[in-house]
Amino acid sequence: MSPPLVIPFFIPHQGCPHLCVFCNQRLIAGQTSETQTFDSEASRLSDVIHTYLQFKKNRSRVELAFFGGNFLGLELSRILALLKAVQPWIRQGQIHSIRCSTRPDTVTPQVLDLTRPFGLETVELGVQSMDDRVLALAERGHTSEDTRKALALLKKNGLKTGAQVMVGLPGDDDFGALRTAEEIAELKPDLARIYPLLVLNGSRLAQWYRSGRYVPLSLDKAVDQTKKMVTIFRGAEISVARIGLQATQMMDDTDQMIAGPWHPAFGHLVLSALMFDRTCEQIDTVLAGRERIGKPGEQKSVVLQVHPRSLSRLQGNRKTNFDRLVQTYPGISFIIERVETLDVNQVHAHIVNE
């Protein structure tokens, strides 16, 4: 089954009671005005829906997503107005459900009772970290306990749940990031998103960066931490819906995005790193039995089988995975076979004597 078409509608920074040290939400969402009349917002919503529905193609499901702000923290009248504005498309069967992103501390029984009749199906929480010290340094204004309570309440109300986390937060480290992933995995949300922290101009973090108080993760370190978090989520059967921020014009503007582990294909780097690790595990396994397959020291070719859609992951960015394989296993040549029946996250290896 093809994934649903997700129509994103941004409400930049609105509904947020706090300005986190890393936040300049207007830049991320590409907006300059935080307040709009409902008529203008409804018109923009209609335009966005019409535009995205052109790209539905053969996908059977469409979701409208309120992203970029704290949706359940908006005034109740505003939440109702936005949800009601989507209803004509829901009644016509053109949109099948609604999702939103919000802060853990704004999930309440009252607001969930309000939204229940309007097709809200999935709520993603801006968790960022499960370390209260890190949350305090980032000036998030909520605690890890708020996240636990919010996820429990959402599940009690029959809603699908998501958790959005960050790597590279001030005061965090490799152990803390992995502990966050482990604690979230124990809470069993339906999906997770992982973002590397970038330094945006106009944020408090930008001041810290310029003064030397904050040092962002290197790209390699961010990829490594994220790779380990993905492994934890997958092990808990939690879908990782996104890795890395969406590429926008802002990301290439050094006047706006001034530092941090930005790469337009960050997710691909992470998935390629995971595939490299899995490939090495497979090769090591088959090489361990080489004496039963052929004579010791005999030249070998290793066949790597992978799903066609995962060939680029196996190769790595600019084929760096292949270069690393040659360095790691000198004297072995590699043959690639595309196998449709394999899972996209799998790779199988076997030896062919030359």
**pLDDT tens per residue, range 226-273:** 999 999 999 999 999 999 987 665 566 777 889 999 999 999 999 999
| Average pLDDT score, the chain | 90
Query: How far is it, in rounded angstroms, from Cα 156 to Cα 314?
Result: 41
Distances (CA, A) of 79 to 11, 87, 112, 118, 128: 11, 13, 11, 10, 24
Confidence grade of residue 293 (pLDDT, cut at 50, 70, 90): very low
Q: Is domain 5-264 classified as CATH 3.40.50.300? A: no
Supply the pLDDT for residue 288.
85
Supply the pLDDT for residue 40.
81
Of residues 142 and 352, more confidently modeled = 142
SS3 277: helix
Query: How far is it, in rounded angstroms, from Cα 232 to Cα 210?
Result: 34
Where exactly are the structural domains of the chain? 5-264, 272-353
> Which structure tokens are listed for 123?
């709520």
Of residues 31 and 270, more confidently modeled = 270
Query: How far is it, in rounded angstroms, from Cα 272 to Cα 14?
Result: 36
Q: What is the mean pLDDT of residues 287-310?
A: 76
Residue 34 pLDDT greater than 50, yes or no = no
Q: Which of 106-115, 201-210, 280-289 has the lowest mean pLDDT?
A: 280-289
* Residue pLDDT, tens place only, 70-80: 999 999 999 99
Q: Is 211 left (phi over 0), alpha (psi -120 to 50) or beta?
A: alpha
Supply the pLDDT for residue 69.
80
pTM: 0.89
Supply the pLDDT for residue 29.
46
Q: Is 138 left (phi over 0), alpha (psi -120 to 50) or beta?
A: alpha
Q: Which of 27-36, 165-174, 318-327, 336-345 has the lowest mean pLDDT?
A: 27-36
Q: Which residue has tokens 């709520």? A: 123
202-208: Cβ within 8 A, 24+ apart = 202/24, 202/27, 203/21, 203/22, 203/23, 203/24, 204/19, 204/21, 204/22, 204/139, 205/21, 205/22, 205/170, 206/258, 208/21, 208/170
Residue 110 pLDDT greater than 80, yes or no = yes
Residue 18 pLDDT greater than 80, yes or no = no
Residue 354 pLDDT greater than 60, yes or no = no
Supply the pLDDT for residue 2.
75
Query: How far is it, in rounded angstroms, from Cα 52 to Cα 2?
Result: 16
Q: What is the mean pLDDT of residues 305-327?
A: 95
Supply the pLDDT for residue 19.
78
Confidence grade of residue 27 (pLDDT, cut at 50, 70, 90): very low
Supply the pLDDT for residue 23.
83
Query: How far is it, in rounded angstroms, from Cα 352 to Cα 25?
Result: 54
Q: What percent of the chain has pLDDT over 70?
A: 88
Q: Read off φ and ψ for residue 214, nearest 5 degrees.
A: -125, 130
Supply the pLDDT for residue 42.
85
Of residues 254 and 65, more confidently modeled = 65
Distances (CA, A) of 59 to 3, 49, 56, 219, 287: 7, 15, 6, 35, 43
